[in-house]
Structure 1
């Protein structure tokens, strides 16, 4: 796990080494174990390394081979041992335990062919100095970040956009549209796109390739993968019964969890008492009962479910107290700087604190439950879309069953259920609305997941920890996308197949709890002075000649009646002041 940067002069001139060194310095928090810089006239690469896999003396970056090939890599290949065996079967020598070196050897000998065999999360820059070709790439889901910017005649590439801030051409310009979307919905990093006008994410599922043209100028193009999207054919899973699919899913998830725990140092889990993190935790303990991982939770949410986990599984359990408002605000600024943008909610700060405590406890790898809600239709919006699909496809018996059971068992969904029934009564169900499968892909690629992965990456690496997401294993992704919707939603029960997978592992209080679990969602209670400072920031935003719509222009009403919006304004104000941003 690392931070990487690349600097390429598009006119073939020698690069300014101080620019590359500045890029590397800006992401020093991403790796404290090693660093390296390489410059070849018009191209430079750099790396900050966090040592997780392989021997300490292996994996130094940038890597070089025969003075021709050069490479920087961020991420982890979970099946690196299997890849090494495939290389050996082709009589390609492998003398390393570093997954980064195996990735490098693979690219040297196979090029971009068969990258679908890589199981992991990654971004990389590969440079062939003889043919003057550069490959820039991220994993298919964009678990690992990589951004680019065109500045001062360069193509600059980096794991975080803060590596661009020292360029003379850089400016902290943002679009009003992105701020408006953030204020109204809390969404950011749509398709991984940052707030900044001048920075863009490297696209996923393809390779950005640069080649020399006549006159020693670089020309770039995007190489699309034939295998960049998972197979969407449903034939395999449709023929399986629910029980057979559950057994297959359990096998795939077990394999993913076990592959995600390789590495050095103690292993950690953050527990909310919800299904996703509890299932990952229980599967690990089932196969590694002798191992004692660290399990971290907040004292405020130490509910019946977490206490049941404590009784079921042996681990080192740590409870974190809620910070004071003053401590919370100090961390708020730190996380805004890390995140390079305002925070959608206070839970982002609680999430960061989990990693800060894990660092103090010596944890090097944390397993996260991110991706389960997106893949297995866990958000309330999926249920509404499922009802609409049943209605449009005239599956009225199934629809009636779903509506009745939801009404009887899901009090948390009364509001969307009543709205759906009202729309049905008045004939307002739009048959052209986004389908359930498209909605899932939207949450995976466009809206929900990109920011969640962004936060996992920033919060973990700032604390010298590698965060891993077993639910986003490529085999689980392919499995989930082929499932019939009725295997994920059944009689109002969302993530139904995950609950079936956990039936022999988890207590009923977790399996049968459908309310969303998570870190604390509210900021600590401020004292009067702190509250007045908060209201002052709201008032300052309201007093500006702003065209953003607000439900009220009274700060005290915003604070009490619209707390989510008040928080977003408050965090936005903090971000705008830190960077002296002028929205345009």
Structure 2
């Protein structure tokens, strides 16, 4: 694991610029650094030593030293690929997966990418052809950003590095802000910084002669297999998971695992048979998973290390979290992930985690909504629309939201696992709304690709392309790397997905639970109380905190600040706060979404970041 950064072309101070870019991501790789500079490119690298501790230094060259690579991530099938390449005549100077990637690219070109199992972003400079090639992994586990300036490409694992490039002008992308207010994370290819883009998952690029070409090399496709029985799927899930966990354990340093009270991390921890698990909780009974995790750890014979996060610690850390995220993220659990990573980093360099299970196996509670709304969705569309219009005019009452949601098609009401502010609300609170993107414009191309699938599968597909990339995996990478900790995600393995994509919806979501088939596989290792535990997410008591004087005033001060006045109609956003405090509405998530943007803005535009 590491961080990479660099730029094409040669500047008078290339060495100094590259060093500054590397220093901004030293937390991603505190063990060592490396550079490659010639007239065509400057490539930087920061290393966290995990595999081949002595021989894995980067950059790495091919035999003729006319190709050079820097790489962030892990390739879990590199040993098999290495044997194949040696048999084809390639000479390896180390046992590192980085070198295997380089020789694999020499041998297969971009056709190498679908052969890989792992998490990765990498760039390869072909000095002979003056070409920069790069790629990002299948599901977006590892981040990659780039900008184009004066005919050159600047890139990095984090945006911080790009901001160090000479004459790069920081400016807020108002379209990113507008859509963030609905999604709670940055959703557009162009980031919150104008001119800085993210390379999307399963995409690769070639940069040559000032021209950037991007292409998709792989796409997740669902295809239900109705011929297999539930027992066959359970067996396939467990076989794939045990193989994936075994691959994800490969390391020359100690590996631990995160553990909450949920089935995903518990299944990983129980399959892993490691020595240490890590858990955090809050000083509120309803929001504390520590006792549950300790009891499970004891039952499966694993040591548990935990941290109780105080309210003060949580709020004091918000600025650091938004700094490390690079872009605003309104998911309150990001801070919990920051602290569990901090705790784990005291003991290990690598931790396994349970991200991806919900998207692959149908775990979110909202995936039950198509079943719950069936009495309404069976009605003719004009009747549903009329019921929805009537419901909107009703006072606040039980069943109102049910009628409104049931009146809408799935494509209108579901944009992923979070939906914060509607377009009308955005228009009301923003000082300069662009009105450029309705949320359905962003999701429609993805819905079109699964138009023949059932509603639950459509929802999974949307979550894989939005929620998983923009929230779940980004915070896992950034919060762990803030503490020089590598997080690995065994559920997000290509072979695990190959099983998950064939499971019919009846084995994913039913009247008993979500993730049904996966839970049955987990039963082999876990007690019933864990395997059947309902999906909670990571509970954070922000709803309570925002009513307390101290935090109410802290947020109100931010909502009336100069920065807030630049972007928002402050009277409208303060109204959210007052309504929440008085108990008229639960506006906690809307308030948090706005507040996290302002906290982020302070880090990058009001202070030196």
**Bucket of the pairwise TM-score, normalised by the shorter protein:** 0.7 to 0.9
Shift of 1:472: 0.5
Q: Aligned pair 1:178/2:176, yes or no?
A: yes
Go from structure 1 to structure 2 and tell me whether the alpha carbon gap of 1:546 and 1:461 turns closer, same or farther (over 3 Å shift).
closer
5 Å-filtered alignment, 1:100-249, equals 100-185=98-183, 187-190=184-187, 193-211=190-208, 217-225=209-217, 228-234=218-224, 237-249=225-237
Match of 1:410 in 2: none
Q: CA offsets, 1:486-545, max 9 Å, x none?
A: 110122411001111012211111222214142534389597556533332234377667
**Equivalence for 1:567:** 592
Counterpart of 2:5 in 1: which secondary structure? strand
Extract unaligned runs of 5+ from structure 1: 212-216, 286-290, 395-414
Give the Å deviation of 1:284: 1.5
Matched residue SS, 1:4: strand
Task: Quote the residue 2:601 is aligned against.
Answer: 576
The structural deviation recorded for 1:432 is: 7.0
Find out whether 1:376 has 2:361 as its counterpart. Answer: yes
> How many angstroms apart in 2 are the aligned matches of 1:580 and 1:432?
36
1:388-437 Cα offsets, whole Å, 9 max, x none, are 6899799xxxxxxxxxxxxxxxxxxxx9998557876xxx4648765433
Question: RMSD over aligned Cα, in angstroms?
Answer: 3.1
Distance, in Å, in 2 between the alignment partners of 1:558 and 1:84 is: 58
Report what 1:546 is aligned to. 568
Post-superposition offset of 1:147: 0.6
1:375 deviates by 1.3
CA distance in 1, matches of 2:189, 2:487: 18
Distance 2:92 2:166 in 1: 43
Q: What is the deviation of 1:460?
A: 1.2
Per-residue Cα deviation, 1:122-160 (whole angstroms, up to 9, x for no partner): 011111111222211111212111111013442101111
Give how far 1:200 is off: 0.3
Q: Which residue of 1 aligns with 2:2?
A: 2
8 Å CA contact 2:56–2:96 kept in 1: the answer is yes
Pair 1:44–1:56, CA change in 2 (3 A)? same
- Determine helix, strand or coil for the equivalent of 1:317: strand
Given that 1:180 and 1:548 are in contact with CA atoms closer than 8 Å, whether structure 2 keeps it comes out as no
> What is the aligned length?
540
Pick from 457, 461, 464 the counterpart of residue 441 of structure 1: 461
TM-score (norm 2): 0.81
Q: Who is 2:426 aligned against? A: none
Alpha-carbon separation, structure 2, partners of 1:304 and 1:535: 35
For structure 2, the 5+ residue unaligned runs are: 380-396, 413-446, 448-454
Partner of 1:358: 344
Displacement of 1:65 in angstroms is: 3.7
Q: Retained in 2: the 8 A contact 1:5–1:45?
A: yes
* 2:31 is equivalent to residue 33 of structure 1: yes
Change (3 A) 1:543 1:512: same
- The aligned residue for residue 416 of structure 2 is none
Match of 1:317 among 293, 304, 310: 304
Retained in 2: the 8 A contact 1:295–1:315?
A: no
CA distance 1:498–1:134, shift in 2 (3 Å) = same
Name the TM-score, length of structure 1 as normaliser. 0.84
1:252 to 240, 249, 265: 240
1:354-400 CA deviation, whole Å, 9 max, x = no partner?
Answer: 1111112x211111111111111222322223566899799xxxxxx
**Structure 1 equivalent of residue 270 of structure 2:** 282
Q: Name the CA shift for 1:453/1:385 in 2 (closer, same or farther; >3 Å).
A: same
Match of 1:401 in 2: none
Which of 266, 278, 288 is 1:295 aligned to?
278
2:249 is aligned to 261
Aligned-partner Cα distance in 1 for 2:541–2:554: 21
Contact 1:266 1:294 in 2 (8 A): no
Partner of 1:79: 77
Distance across 1 between alignment mates of 2:404 and 2:544: 38
- Over 3 Å counting, the alpha-carbon distance change for 1:334 and 1:299 in structure 2 is closer
Deviation at 1:94, TM superposition (A): 3.4
Q: Note if contact 1:324-1:524 (Cα within 8 Å) is conserved in structure 2.
A: no
Q: Give the conservation status (yes or no) of the 8 Å contact 1:305–1:510.
A: no
- Structure 1 CA distance for aligned equivalents of residues 211 and 404 of structure 2: 56
